[in-house]
């Protein structure tokens, strides 16, 4: 079945630094990737949608200059949290969708970001 690998699973960084999270589709071409943010005991909130080779589309209220998304290939998307602050601490999850079909969203295992 489709597999999405997300790294790192956990990261701790200092305030002001940047952190990059990778999301790779291992056995299929991901034409679209999605990045979600999840606070403890809450639902997943979509941050942005990225299509290979084009700029990401951000949801309302998400700062595109703070959360940089790159989808340079059909198997890799990255989310970079720039100038991280403690309030950016959260669980970030990517999801990838291949060609065709109206379902078939495969999720990464998530990244726990803690900014100290």
Partner 1 sequence: SQQGEEDPQALSIQEGENATMNCSYKTSINNLQWYRQNSGRGLVHLILIRSNEREKHSGRLRVTLDTSKKSSSLLITASRAADTASYFCAILTGGGNKLTFGTGTQLKVEL
Site of interaction with partner 1 (CB under 8 A): 4, 6, 32, 34, 41-44, 46, 49, 91, 93, 95, 102-103, 105-110, 112
CA–CA gap between residue 100 and residue 106 (Å, rounded): 14
The distance of closest approach from Cβ of residue 16 to partner 1 in the complex, given in angstroms and rounded to an integer, is: 26
**Residue 45 or 76 having the CB closest to partner 1:** 45
The distance of closest approach from Cβ of residue 56 to partner 1 in the complex, given in angstroms and rounded to an integer, is: 13
CA–CA gap between residue 34 and residue 16 (Å, rounded): 25
What does 6-39 look like in DSSP terms, one character per residue? EE-SEEEE-TT--EEEEEEESSS--SEEEEEEE-
The distance of closest approach from Cβ of residue 110 to partner 1 in the complex, given in angstroms and rounded to an integer, is: 5
**Residue 44 or 82 having the CB closest to partner 1:** 44
**Residue 12 or 18 having the CB closest to partner 1:** 12
CA–CA gap between residue 67 and residue 84 (Å, rounded): 10
**Using an 8 Å Cβ cutoff, are 93 and 7 in contact?**
no
**Residue 86: strand, helix, or coil:** helix
The distance of closest approach from Cβ of residue 43 to partner 1 in the complex, given in angstroms and rounded to an integer, is: 5
**Residue 29 or 42 having the CB closest to partner 1:** 42
């Amino acid at each position: 079945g489709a597999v999405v690998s997300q790294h790192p699973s956990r990261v701790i960084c200092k305030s002001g630094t940047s952190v990059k999270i990778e999301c790779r589709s291992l056995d299929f071409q991901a034409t679209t990737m999605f990045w979600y943010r999840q606070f403890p005991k809450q639902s997943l909130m979509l941050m942005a949608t990225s299509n290979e080779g084009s700029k990401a589309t951000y949801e309302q209220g998400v700062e595109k200059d703070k959360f940089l998304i790159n989808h340079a290939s059909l198997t890799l998307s990255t989310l970079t949290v720039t100038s991280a602050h403690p309030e950016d601490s959260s669980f970030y999850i990517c999801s990838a969708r291949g060609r065709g079909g109206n379902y078939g969203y495969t999720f990464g295992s998530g990244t726990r970001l803690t900014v100290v």
